[in-house]
Amino acid sequence: MKSKLLQWFQIKNHEHGESYRSILKYFYPECVTALILYSLPYFIDSYFIGSLKSTSLYTISGIVDNFLTLLIKSAEGFSIGVVVIAGCYNGSKLYKKVGQTFVEAFWSIILIGAAVSFSIYSSVFYIYQWFHFPPDMIEQGILYFKLKAIALFFMFVFFSAIGFLRSVKNTVAPMILFAVGSLVFVVSDYILIFGKFGCPALGLNGSAIAYCIQYAVMAVCAMAYVLFFSANKKYEINLFSRFIKWKTTWELLRTSGPIVVDKVVMAGAYVWLAHLLSPLGTNVMASFSLIKLMERFAFIPAIGFAQVITFLVSNDVGRGAWKDLNVNIKRVIYVSTCMVGVTLLAGSLYPNWFISFVDQRGDFGYLVAQIFPSLSVLVFLDLLQLILSGALRGAGAVKVVMWTRMSVIIGFFMPVSYLISCIPMTSIPLKFFLIYGSFFVGNGWMSVLYIKWLIEGKVKEVKCG
């Protein structure tokens, strides 16, 4: 198996596939989108909160955002379910059926979003306890978490509308809506945290209110576009013409289920990491949040390339171009490794440059400077699984990705990381590295399983459509 793995990574001279120039042409727009939408606002928010010069406030922000990512991923998964269901009718030009399906799915998602938002709002105190927060930090963070829980409802509304737009092949409007939302968040975040233009300085809670404003504005704009834009009139969307239809709800859950589970499992791994690291103290928790932020920044090219490889592979499957498929995957892995490697190297050689933006008091940055260079080597295993999972989704192997991630996270990562956390160690950086590192080792094992699936040629069993 080892020799087969090494052989798979080789590209032979007679194999064609997409050129590196073509791959990069597809990549640049995706990279800019990932930077603007998924990284830059979080980095700016962390800088603003870091300017409050409170390690406990930054820790609260980082851990709450880490937990809420799990729920954001579930909302994204339901959005994809709407894309699949409504998109089928749109492809058949059954436009009225598209509108009916969206309305029924919309009310189902509204119900799910309301239940999620209320559950988190009611459980804030117990979630903080699960993360071993001391009473004074829980008191500091109660309102912050509750405000973010309210924003979850608006987020589910927004993603339901985004699902409809993508199902009718409108990708421009979602991009604009995301960009507008990011701009609204950054501006309101600055005003409310520091108390500018006559507003009171609300500190950490100002960030949570800005988060609510962001998703409320995005939800209202998205629904207004869906309901009133002239190009959507042919779908005859009337939100009050029908409500929840259990057949549609079941179809939504059945279609979205594997995607939601897939996304939630990976996001849940970071929540589990935070739970295991929390007994090591506030500085360790703050370090975890900052390292995750630096990792997210370094991963921007990988996120862009994961999008690119998904549609490249889906096209290769449609053409039956199996050799091109494998070559494209390898080339994307090589070029993404180089780009991510440059950022990780910069972060490892000059960690204090990144640290100074957030840890402006010097409370926990020394831990990040010790741990990040060693941990960054293992990050490449995460990059590999991200690209490969994107490729398998493009090949229609959604369930392969879901079951692989579930089995590795639940069967390997969680028990191994828990056992490491139980071992007494005098060195906190070493314990941090081993616990966090077990997650990346698990990702490496996922990658082996994905490549095995490709080597065995199971991708040829996929039938387009």
Per residue in 191-229, pLDDT (tens digit) is 999 999 888 999 999 999 999 999 999 999 999 988 887
Residues 64 and 155 in one domain: yes
User: Alpha helices, DSSP H only, in 168-299?
Assistant: 172-194, 204-228, 246-277, 282-298
Domain boundary among 256, 291, 314: 256
Residue 3: the pLDDT is 65
Domain presence at residue 429 = yes
Tell me, what's the pLDDT at 364?
A: 87
Does residue 38 register a pLDDT over 80? no
Joined tokens for residue 317: 């499957």
pLDDT at 15 over 80: no
Q: How high is the pLDDT of residue 4?
A: 62
Domain count within the chain: 2
Q: What percent of the chain has pLDDT over 90?
A: 39
Owning domain of residue 68: 51-256
Q: pLDDT-derived band of residue 464, with 50, 70 and 90 as boundaries? A: very low
What are 176's two structure tokens? 């604009």
Q: Greater confidence, 208 or 41? A: 208
Mean pLDDT value of segment 78-99: 73
- In this structure, the number of other CB atoms found within 10 A of the CB of residue 55 comes to 20
Q: What is the mean pLDDT of residues 25-40?
A: 76
In this structure, are 110 and 18 located in the same domain?
no
pTM (2 d.p.): 0.85
Q: Are 124 and 142 in contact (CB under 8 A)?
A: yes
Q: Tell me the three state secondary structure of residue 95.
A: helix
Does residue 269 sit within a domain?
Answer: no
* Tokens (6 digits) for 232: 């959507």
Mean pLDDT in residue range 414-443: 94
Asked if the structure places residue 65 within a domain, the reply is yes
Do the Cβ atoms of 12 and 463 come closer than 8 Å?
no
Nearest in space to 413 (alpha carbons), one of 268, 262, 264, 278: 268
CB 189 within 8 A of CB 210: yes
Instruction: Say yes or no: 55 and 29 in one domain.
Output: no
Predicted pLDDT of residue 215? 93
DSSP letter at 459 equals G
What is the pLDDT confidence band of residue 7, given thresholds at 50, 70 and 90?
Answer: low
Q: Tokens 């919309």 — which residue? A: 106
Q: Are residues 42 and 78 in the same domain?
A: no
- Best-predicted range by mean pLDDT (10-14, 126-130, 299-303): 126-130
User: Which comes out higher in pLDDT, residue 189 or 11?
Assistant: 189
Is 275 inside any structural domain? no
Please state the rounded mean pLDDT for residues 273-295: 91
DSSP state of 329: H
The CA dihedral of 223, 226, 228, 232, to the nearest 10 degrees, is -170
Judgement on whether residues 235 and 354 belong to the same structural domain of the protein: no
Cα(49)–Cα(52) distance, rounded to whole angstroms? 5
C-alpha pair distances (Å), 203 with each of 55, 150, 152, 322, 370 = 13, 18, 21, 54, 30
Domain-ending residue, one of 256, 289, 318: 256
> What per-residue confidence (pLDDT) applies to 5?
59
**Residue 39 and residue 61 in one domain:** no
Mean pLDDT value across residues 138-167: 90
**Closest alpha carbon to 272 in 409, 383, 371:** 409
The answer on 340 and 196 residing in a single domain is no
Residue 181 shares a structural domain with residue 319: no
Domain identity same for 233 and 325: no
Q: Tell me the C-alpha distance between 333 and 458, whole Å.
A: 20
**Contact in structure between 64 and 364 (CB atoms under 8 Å):** no
Q: Output the CA angle 69-75-80, nearest 5 degrees.
A: 125
Residue 292, in any domain of the structure: yes
229: in domain:
yes
Q: Which of 256, 271, 303 is the last residue of a domain?
A: 256
pLDDT at 284: 92
Has residue 261 been placed in a domain? no
pLDDT grade for 248, boundaries at 50, 70 and 90: low
Calculate mean pLDDT across residues 300-310. 84
Q: Are 179 and 315 part of one and the same domain?
A: no
Does residue 270 fall inside a structural domain? no
Q: Say yes or no: 91 and 207 in one domain.
A: yes
Cα 155 to Cα 218: distance, rounded to the nearest angstrom: 8
Residue 108 and residue 177 in one domain = yes
Confidence label for 461 from pLDDT (cuts 50, 70 and 90): low
- The length of the chain in residues reads 465
